[in-house]
Amino acid sequence: MSYAKPASARKMLADRLAFHEAQRQKYDNKLVELKERADWPASGLPEPLHPLFGAYLLTRKAIMSNETNTEWCKWVLSLLPAEN
């Protein structure tokens, strides 16, 4: 990115940020779908031996990674010079 024009870099990062924001919606929807399943435990979270435990863990991991990627894009955008 050090050789990229600031406008090109900003566009690339803005596009990536939009991608992560769209992905976040998908992950949030997946989490809602999991929690609405009839076999979702009434206690609120599946125990390690519950069939939905793995799906829950991976969905939460995806959300956490997405949050980090989103914040990174915002941070880098804040470091780049503003467009003229």
Contacts (Cβ under 8 Å, ≥6 apart) of 52: 34, 37, 39, 40, 41, 46
Confidence class for position 5, pLDDT limits 50, 70, 90: confident
Threshold 0.95, pTM exceeds: no
Structure tokens at 77: 């955008």
pLDDT score at 2: 58
Are 73 and 13 spatial neighbours (Cβ–Cβ below 8 Å)? yes
Query: Rounded to whole angstroms, how far apart are CA atoms 56 and 24?
Result: 15
pLDDT at residue 19 in the model: 98
Q: Note the pLDDT tens digit of each residue in 31-63.
A: 999 999 999 999 889 999 999 999 999 999 999
CA angle 77/81/84 to nearest 5° reads 120
- Please give the Cα distance from 41 to 81 (Å, whole number): 50
The percent of residues above 90 in pLDDT, for the chain, comes to: 81
